[in-house]
Chain A
Amino acid sequence: MSKRIEIKDLNVYYGNFLAVEGVSMVMEPRTVTAFIGPSGCGKSTLIRTLNRMHEVIPGARVDGEVLVDGNDLYGAGVDPVKVRREVGMVFQRPNPFPTMSIRENVLAGVKLNNTRMSKSDADDLVEKSLKGANLWKEVKDRLDKPGSGISGGQQQRLCIARAIAVQPEVILMDEPCSALDPISTLAIEDLIEELKEKYTIVIVTHNMQQASRVSDKTAFFNIAGTGMPGKLIEYNDTATIFSNPSVQATEDYVSGKFG
């Protein structure tokens, strides 16, 4: 479980527009990497290239390499579906499937792929995933209620449970707490701490305290101006980025002087 991600000289495009330019970085297994930076600097765009969700948007493309344990995600003949089974994703807004119950939502990754599973295996997986997402106690008596009927924070943890139920190697989180209250945020941060034991985690966040609390390494992105490509400015241990960054722009951003 858990794999190493290496990005080599990656350019990301929307049509002819270069959104992110020349990113190279390495994320070690069982670490949490935070992407920070002002809006529009390409953090979300970059994280979506790590499981080939980027190309879901018409006209979007990539050049460069993303290696997961040495396998290029953008190599010839790579099946994006297979990639996404190994690299799970949690989105900014909780998005449980409205037609499914809580239980069905957790099993969605398995059931939607037409995989057969005995009821007891399914029950075990539901319990394990919901416990993994710290949600089991809250919903165990109403697993058959609609997944969209629980609170926002619970929905987001349900989405995390859904993501870990397919047993990925890597979990990508695109601002998972931006729509949540502080208590739910805390629950999810604790969860990230636990998930770190098993998975490689990449998280995009606008909350610098959150980046400093949960991540081992932090990458700061910035853009020179509107219409310019986003660039990786600095990538280092979180402690270094927040206390002693080597680039002035990073220091200005983390200390709140701009952004």
Chain B
Amino acid sequence: MSQIATASTANYYASNRLPSYAVGLLLVIAFVLSWGGFSFLRPEGAEDGVNLPLVGVVTALVFGVLQYVTSLIVEGSRRAIDRTVTLLVTLAFVLAMIPLLSLLYTVVSLGAERFDYDFFNYSMRNVVGEGGGAAHAMAGTFIMTALATLISVPVGLLTSIYLVEYSAGNRLARSITFFVDVMTGIPSIVAGLFAYSLFSLILGPGTRVGIAGAAALSVLMIPIVVRSSEEMLRLVPNELREASYALGVPKWLTIVKVVLPTALAGITTGVMLAIARVMGETAPLLIAAGFSNNFNFNPFSDRMQSLPNFVYYSYVAQGSVPEAYLDRAWAGALTLILIVMALNLGARLVTNIFAPKYGR
């Protein structure tokens, strides 16, 4: 008897809670209310159905109010506010996901049309209507991005090593940091103009070559690489550097063999993300590398096509069969998204592989 009595005594720390089904119930009520409201208000003989997105918005509003009031009555004000804010945060997330999913859906559904064997194996040489592909654009994108990476990674990584390991926050370091920040904000077309004029000065006016495109991309890539690797190098604990110095290891070997391996995962991730970021650049490549319908594997002569420009030109210069051009544009966009996604997944994989292991 006494045990039961003890158990039934109200717990000082407990309070009334809404049962979990109540939330679902409120949601259904809110939906029925708004759906019913809109159906009821619909003018006689209207041809359109009920506007679904509008119903969704009103449902969310009604649900928010209903939940707040019920929770206020049953659970008290703190929980009511908690539920409302949770709802707001969730709605913000959903709102952010809508354009993303819509974009993915559109690109996948429209791009799938020409996402075929030909697309990956043919250039646009002598193609005026249907057929053809973007193989030349993919080759160009890979060549120019690879060259840009080859230029940016050494420059960016060495800059960040100087900033973190050697500068000790002197005036030069502070100005480098400042200009790197400024460079992050350079409009990409300016980078393209820079590369174009640079190569015009060297090779004569009107020069459009792959390497110029790569130079334009590296102008955009270097600040990202500097910033991300600087952060990663700063994360390496000073204790490790000191441990290495105390073993009589010179500073440069300490950096090469202790600091860099420890930060490798982060640096690689940063580089991969920088690559993904510049791969989708259109304007600088349009100016510096031009565009082409042909395969060109030599970055030092002639114009070079890239995927973003392939998409752009397919859209602005639709030929005799516009449908075919638009389909190719969507397929190009889909390919670009897939490549960037693969790079991001690769970055995650690399992080897992290279991260220091703490297993026993």
Residue tally, chain A, CB below 8 Å to B: 35
Minimum CB–CB distance from B132 to chain A (whole Å) comes to 49
**B243 contacts chain A at the CB level, 8 A cutoff:** yes
Q: Are A145 and B247 interface neighbours, CB within 8 A?
A: no
Q: Give the complex CA separation of A145 and B359 in angstroms.
A: 8
Identify which of B52-60, B188-196, B233-241, B308-316 touches chain A. Answer: B233-241
Minimum CB–CB distance from B155 to chain A (whole Å) comes to 25
Given the known inter-chain contacts A56-B241, A95-B240, A98-B262, please indicate yes or no for A150 contacting B360, CB distance below 8 A: yes
Residue in A95, A98, A148 whose CB lies within 8 Å of B242: A95
Q: Are B246 and A99 interface neighbours, CB within 8 A?
A: no
Q: Are B253 and A112 interface neighbours, CB within 8 A?
A: yes
Q: Give the complex CA separation of A95 and B242 in angstroms.
A: 9
Closest to A86 in B: B248
Q: Which residues does chain B contribute within 8 Å of A159, judged by CB atoms?
A: 243
Residue in A84, A91, A98 whose CB lies within 8 Å of B356: A98
Minimum CB–CB distance from B21 to chain A (whole Å) comes to 47
Q: Are A56 and B249 interface neighbours, CB within 8 A?
A: no
Residue tally, chain B, CB below 8 Å to A: 27
Closest to A51 in B: B246
Q: Give the complex CA separation of A159 and B247 in angstroms.
A: 10
User: What's the dominant secondary structure at chain A's contact region?
Assistant: mixed
Q: Which residues does chain A contribute within 8 Å of B169, judged by CB atoms?
A: 58
**A32 contacts chain B at the CB level, 8 A cutoff:** no
Q: Are A84 and B359 interface neighbours, CB within 8 A?
A: no
Q: Are B359 and A88 interface neighbours, CB within 8 A?
A: no
Q: Give the complex CA separation of A113 and B246 in angstroms.
A: 12
Q: Are A163 and B239 interface neighbours, CB within 8 A?
A: no
**B261 contacts chain A at the CB level, 8 A cutoff:** yes
Q: Give the complex CA separation of A184 and B359 in angstroms.
A: 21
Residue in A80, A112, A162 whose CB lies within 8 Å of B257: A112
Q: Are B248 and A81 interface neighbours, CB within 8 A?
A: yes
Q: Give the complex CA separation of A99 and B245 in angstroms.
A: 17
Closest to B251 in A: A81
Q: Which residues does chain A contribute within 8 Å of B257, judged by CB atoms?
A: 111-112
Q: Which residues does chain A contribute within 8 Å of B247, judged by CB atoms?
A: 84-85, 88, 108-109, 112, 162-163, 166
List 14 additional contacts besides A53-B246, A112-B258, A114-B253; criterion CB under 8 Å: A84-B247, A85-B247, A89-B242, A89-B246, A91-B246, A95-B240, A97-B243, A97-B244, A97-B258, A111-B257, A146-B358, A149-B360, A162-B247, A163-B247
B-binding residues in A (CB < 8 A) = 51, 53, 56, 58, 80-86, 88-89, 91, 93, 95-99, 108-109, 111-114, 145-146, 148-150, 159, 162-163, 166
The 3 closest A-B pairs by CB, nearest first: A85-B248, A98-B356, A109-B247
